Amino acid sequence: MKRIALALLLMPLAACGQDQPDTLTVFAAASLQETFTELAEDFEKEHGVKVEFNFGPSSGLAEQINAGAPADVFASASVKTMDGVEDTQDPETFAVNTMQIAVPADNPADIDSLDDLTKKGVKVALCQADVPCGTVAAEVFANAKLTVTPVTEETDVKAVLTKVQLGEVDAGIVYVTDVNAAGDKVVGVDIPAAVNASTDYPIAALDDNDLAREWVELVLSDEGRAVLDTHGFTTP
Amino acid sequence: MASRPPRTRTPLPLAVAAAVAVAFLLLPLVSLVTRVPWADVGTILASDEVGTALKLSLLTSTLATAIAIVLGVPLAWLLARSNARGIGLLRALVMVPMVLPPVVGGVALLSAFGRRGVLGQWLDDWFGVTIPFTTTAAVMAATFVAMPFLIITVEGAFRLADQGLEEAASTLGASRMRVFRTITLPLARPALIAGAVLCWARALGEFGATITFAGNANGRTRTMPLEVYLAMESDPDAAATLALLLLLISVAVLLLLRRRWWTVGR
């Protein structure tokens, strides 16, 4: 019995000896979910590795990285969030995203424009103010000189999209790429270019790790740009 | 009964394991205290947003506990005393919210009471009432996850109660409700208090179901746990301060509970 217990206790030490070079951990903004997952398919085959993603609000991910989370690459939805991360290796902007209003497929509140969001009784979902999509949404409203009180401030842009999809809110401010990704489940209402705001997406390797650098190169390459374009990002 | 020696030495393996357990449970709490930016505590706690979140949390937890008592005690009595078939299954089902991951609870609440939910859509169509994103939703989310704690505690007391006293009261002419009010409930008081405290503490800490079903809006649905989560995204030290506040409230409640237990006698 004692021998078994001892063996069980020592097992994890055996695993320590081996390096685990065949997993790449990428922390990325929630809005990059579809694009990065697509790019990972080819990357995994070419390099024979597994790419593990952690998608979420850029601000939250940055805090996790600073607290020691084991990320190899970080792709953020705002330059400000990337600047808050220690130990990044030369961040580079790889995409730009703008905002759009997302409404449920049947548009129950008849939202046609940004102004409609201020109508009485319209339920709007936004991202939390510190999350990039929330900051940009606030910019849009400031540009349009509108005050919109949301019924909920979600933790990331995908959570806003979900609330719209479920029909729990009448509208949400999300990225154009998110409306694209949701297909038939939501309808996009354009924001006039004059008041719309955009955000730059920087990417950086966090380690002196070949695999990490190769992922960054892939995202910045022509192949990467093509995938980003298809999903609705603008590439610089 | 043989008398025990005044002090029994703890076997070494047990002592070591217990010491590790204590360290594991206490280290995070102690570390939290050290993480708090003591110089800024005043500013952080004095902010309007924190005050609002705190008041909202206290309101929703207390309301949730009140509802849990009004609805849960009768259910606990039914589970303890009824001989109907299927009671066992019913007991298992009402315990589910207790073990369900809170976010799953939130999703389930949306399916029932959301704007397109099973009950919610009728509320919306007939009365124009929507529940998500209201303080009511926050109370419902807290009640959903916390009520089973009260039910299970009180049911245990009802089961163990000496039914002889109740029978005596019946033979003396008391109606069933009177027996319940004057005999059964008072005898179950320690369990009722313990159950209510557990329920209140669980309701205070509810996050997953609240953020999914009730959303996150200042003053209406942003309870303290959501406020802590929000603070974590931008200012971990402020989050630690708020977390410490919640911790102190929980500890205070636990201490109060022990006193009440001492003063209630049979």
Summarize pLDDT for A23-50 with one digit per residue, the tens. Answer: 999 999 999 999 999 999 999 999 999 9
Grade residue B261 by pLDDT with cuts at 50, 70 and 90.
Answer: low
pLDDT, tens digit, for every residue of B87-98?
999 999 999 998
> Between β-strands A73-75 and A198-205, what pairing exists: parallel, antiparallel or unpaired?
antiparallel
Average pLDDT over residues A91-118: 94
**Distance between B158 CA and the closest CA of chain A, angstroms:** 41
pLDDT at residue number B266 = 45
Confidence grade of residue A17 (pLDDT, cut at 50, 70, 90)? very low
ipTM over 0.90: no
Q: What is the predicted pLDDT for the residue at B146?
A: 96
How does A31-59 read in b/e, with b if 16+ C-beta sit within 10 Å?
bbbbbbeebbeebeeebebebebbbbbbb
CB-CB under 8 Å, A155 with B229: yes
Residue B235 binned pLDDT confidence (cut-offs 50, 70, 90): confident
Contact between chains at A59 and B216 (C-beta distance less than 8 A): no
Is A146:A116 a contact under the CB 8 Å cutoff?
A: no
B219 pLDDT more than 90: no
pLDDT top residue among A33 and B7: A33
Distance from CA of A87 to the nearest CA of B (A): 18
Who has greater pLDDT, B10 or B134? B134
Hey, are the CB atoms on B236 and A154 less than 8 Å from each other?
A: no
Predicted pLDDT of residue A230 = 92
Which of B259 and A207 is assigned the larger pLDDT?
A207
What are the residue ranges of helices labelled H in chain A? 2-17, 33-47, 58-66, 79-83, 132-144, 157-165, 176-182, 210-220, 222-231
Confirm or reject contact between A91 and chain B (CB < 8 A).
no
Q: What is the mean pLDDT of residues B113-140?
A: 91
- The confidence score (pLDDT) of residue B148 equals 96
Our measurement of the distance from residue A217's CA atom to the centroid of its chain's CA atoms, rounded to an integer in Å, reads: 19
**Percent of chain A surpassing pLDDT 70:** 92
Local confidence band at B174 (pLDDT 50, 70, 90 cut-offs) = confident
**pTM for the full predicted model:** 0.81
Q: What pLDDT, on a 0 to 100 scale, did the predictor assign at position A18?
A: 47
Question: Contacts of residue A166 in chain B, CB cutoff 8 Å?
Answer: 110, 114-116
Check residue B149 and give its pLDDT.
94
Average pLDDT over residues B114-121: 91
| Closest alpha carbon to A202 in A118, A82, A97 | A82
The position carrying tokens 């902007």 is: A93
Q: Cβ(A103)–Cβ(A170) under 8 Å? A: yes
* CB B137, CB B65: distance < 8 Å: no
Q: Using one digit for the tens of pLDDT, what is the confidence trace for A134-154?
A: 999 999 999 999 999 999 999
CB contact under 8 A, A59 and B233: yes
How high is the pLDDT of residue B4? Answer: 60
Query: How confident is the model over B128-146, as a mean pLDDT?
Result: 93
* pLDDT above 70 (res B113): yes
